Amino acid sequence: MEITELTVHELQEKLKKQEITITEIVGAYAKRIEEKEPEVQSFVTTLIEEAKKQAKEIEEKVKSGEITSDFAGIPIGIKDNLCTKGVRTTCSSRMLENFVAPYDATVVEKLNQENMIDLGKLNMDEFAMGGSTEYSYFKKTKNPWNLSKVPGGSSGGSAAAVAAGLVPWALGSDTGGSIRQPASFCGVVGLKPTYGLVSRYGLVAFASSLDQVGPITKDVRDSAMLLNLIAGHDEKDTTSAKREKIDYTKCLTQDIKGLKIGVPKEFFGEGINPEVKASLEKAIETYRLLGAEIREFSLDIANYSLAAYYIIACAEASSNLGRFDGIRYGYRTPEFSDLKELYKKSRSEGFGPEVKRRIMLGTYVLSSGYYDAYYKKAQQVRTLVMNEFNQGYNQFDVILTPTSPTVAFTIGSKSNNPLEMYLSDICTVSVNVAGLPAISIPCGVDKEGMPIGMQLIGNKFQEETILKAAYAYEQQVNFREQYKPQFKS
């Protein structure tokens, strides 16, 4: 097996046995990026030469015993809305095209402490607003399974890079499904942790009460390992939860006998692709064979959580993006006659169409006379969504749904119809509204060979439960051994 096909835990095993070296690992990824990145277009900024230099330095320090971390020299890709000191952080926007972060995000700091190697910043929908990575200012990322399809979004660059073997794993961010949906479309594993488990310090904010950083990996064990590294309280993030440190790899066993899995019938009704439904039903049967207790129930939130999500997310985006005004940092229009024109032209030229659409919608729902009718009402609905999930967890350990009602769609097929694009988030947004953890794992392919994702949702801070359920299924079906990205056009 090629180095770039190995999971991180497989790379670690080979490093321990001295079958490969850190410089060989980084060299293999550099070569893979050179070969496949022109097709996939997943990076905004590559750091290949820096990574090679770092690999040599770390290798020497490991040999001398100066560095002892198990993750020393392991490469990673970082979504381009996480601040990286001395490296461009663009959020795939013209507004921040030349912004070089003066500090590291807390999660990046934690990776640096382990002496991991950043291969570059990964493409995304501008300011994380979108579900296809078509709204990037720089490029449209392609799906490695079929280059005419989208990789999903907004963490499409992260998911595509992992699927294509350009990075062994990556960090993404998830506001309404932006880790899980691209993971589903690209046939990889995407984990959205409980709100507050992972620090948001240094994550460029889209919607502060919904955003969460999480891993995109080749398998469930890698997800648990990366979560171990990034989870934990951070004094620089006031929403960060104080929790006892957990080793998430310890829950990875195949024994799930008696695990109670709830299947909400609303997520399997109208609008779901028949092949997606068939794959999910097959996965449910696999869980039955593994000894899990499966029962259908009603989770009547799909009808209103999507609307509540878009009101809350757009309102918070309008507020957060107010700082990009052409004055302090970011894009500034070259020609203006007064301050008002400076603001207007800088924001008009610096932001793309989807960001403008959400800012305008958010400003509207926060405006005098509409605040109570929309934003306040959406926050009340949010409480109902939380309550409904709580009732579900009185009966079940895990809730199982599709990650997306469809497989990856063709590039350009939905970008001119924003409402249709928003509806593709229907299976994922309620998780963010309620602040819950959820994981997407591949559970099959359709007749065209495109991956299908299954979502497992847990109660707050029950990452161990969903990781255990995901791992048991993954070990049973061996998706990675059966299917590989085709890079066909």
- Per the annotation, the verdict on 154 as an active-site residue is yes
What class has domain 3-259? Answer: alpha beta
Tell me which of 36, 79, 110, 192 is the catalytic residue. 79
Tell me which of 132, 158, 178, 415 is the catalytic residue. 178
Is a pLDDT exceeding 90 seen at residue 297? yes
Tell me which of 93, 132, 154, 199 is the catalytic residue. 154
Locate the domains of the chain by residue range.
3-259
Chain segment 160-197, per-residue pLDDT in tens: 999 999 999 999 999 999 999 999 999 999 999 999 99
- What per-residue confidence (pLDDT) applies to 154? 97
Chain segment 400-437, per-residue pLDDT in tens: 999 999 999 999 998 777 777 887 889 999 999 999 99
Residue 298: closest CA among 389, 381, 382, 386: 389
Chain segment 68-91, per-residue pLDDT in tens: 999 999 999 999 999 999 999 999
Q: pTM value?
A: 0.97
